[in-house]
Amino acid sequence: MRALFGLGSFLGFCSLFLHDVSGNDIYPTAQNVSWSSHNFKTLLTWSPEPTGYSYTVEYSVLGKDHKKNPHCIRTTQTECDLTMDLTELNQTYSADVVSEPKLGDPLDVEEYPYTKSERFCPYKDTTIGKPNFTFEVNESKNKITLHIQDPVSAIRGANNELLKMREIFKEELKYKVFYSKAKSTGKKEKVTMTNEIELDVDKGQSYCFSVQAYIPTRAINKQLGELSKTQCSPEEKSNIFEEYGLGVIAGGIIILIIILLSIICLITYFCKRRAKAIHKEAMPLNAV
């Protein structure tokens, strides 16, 4: 009897062990789990699309308890928007994508297979989008001032308004400005710590500009944001007085007058000679 009891216990233990192992392996694990974040709108994505099962996303600040987004529990989607969950922007997060029975089926295993994401910090890892900017040329047309507009984030502040990047990064946010003459391939680069920069330019020339966010406190491969659209200033069509100056123009007019007078004098001289010649040829005929 003892032998039979011992054998039964052993078989029960084995069946329980096998059930747990099969439970962990019954559904495919998520693949290609990755973070995607643009202006603090943060998505967790993975593959493949589930057939006969579902996914649940569990996220946490490192070292703290896991939480679940209610829209990403036993879902058949392969994307989870965690923008409103990752509110502590300077914290480092990780997430697990758990493969579970589809919605409506019983959960009969304590732990289902899952795939862990890489670590992610919104403040350090989100991509900063393209900034917009306007520019103005001074009256002397030798300086151009750029006014840069901060990209808007997906994070809401105390007044429920979307925060601008300057409100989040403060003095850490800088901008790189690239500019060149419209007909030149050589580019110049300047960094501004504010949203405004004044550039010296050649008078009347057309210049092209582009701008991108620059956060030097980040890792090198995360320092630069997206490059803005290129904008070019109009080429100033200077009038003849601006182009050559009053003295040069006056001199040219005097030379032109002298040339015209010389031509008139020559024409008058040759006309008089021609008239005298004709008169001489006609004299004998008149005498007869």
pLDDT per position as a tens digit, 267-279: 887 787 777 767 6
Boundary of a domain, candidates 84, 102, 125: 125
Q: What is the pLDDT of residues 146-183, one digit of tens each?
A: 999 999 999 999 999 999 999 999 999 999 999 999 88
Q: Report the distance separating Cα 252 and Cα 258, nearest Å.
A: 10
> Are 186 and 94 in the same domain?
no
Tokens (6 digits) for 184: 């030149």
> Are 29 and 45 in the same domain?
yes
Which CATH number does the domain housing residue 114 bear? 2.60.40.10
Provide the residue range defining the domain that includes 152: 132-241
**Backbone φ, ψ for residue 259 (5° rounding):** -65, -45
Q: Is residue 22 part of a domain?
A: yes
* pTM (global) more than 0.75: no
- Predicted confidence at residue 242, as pLDDT, reads 52
DSSP E strands in 171-264: the ranges are: 174-181, 188-192, 196-200, 207-214, 231-232
Per-residue exposure over 66-93, b if at least 16 CB sit within 10 Å of its own CB, e if not: eeebeebbbbeebebbbbebbeeeebeb
Higher pLDDT: 264 or 43? It is: 43
- Of 247, 219, 78, 87, nearest to 158 (Cα)? 87
**Strand, coil or helix: 60:** strand
Boundary of a domain, candidates 200, 217, 241: 241
Q: Is residue 60 part of a domain?
A: yes
**Whether residue 8 has pLDDT greater than 70:** no
The tally of domains found in the chain comes to 2
> Are 136 and 154 in the same domain?
yes
> Are 94 and 192 in the same domain?
no
Boundary of a domain, candidates 90, 125, 160: 125
Q: Report the distance separating Cα 225 and Cα 208, nearest Å.
A: 19
- Predicted confidence at residue 243, as pLDDT, reads 53
Q: Is residue 249 part of a domain?
A: no
Specify which of 7-11, 178-182, 236-240 reaches the highest per-range mean pLDDT.
Answer: 178-182
- Predicted confidence at residue 282, as pLDDT, reads 61
Q: Is residue 78 part of a domain?
A: yes
Q: Is residue 174 part of a domain?
A: yes
Q: Is residue 274 part of a domain?
A: no
> Are 145 and 236 in the same domain?
yes
Q: Is residue 271 part of a domain?
A: no
Average pLDDT over residues 48-67: 96
> Are 233 and 141 in the same domain?
yes
- Predicted confidence at residue 37, as pLDDT, reads 98
Q: Is residue 227 part of a domain?
A: yes
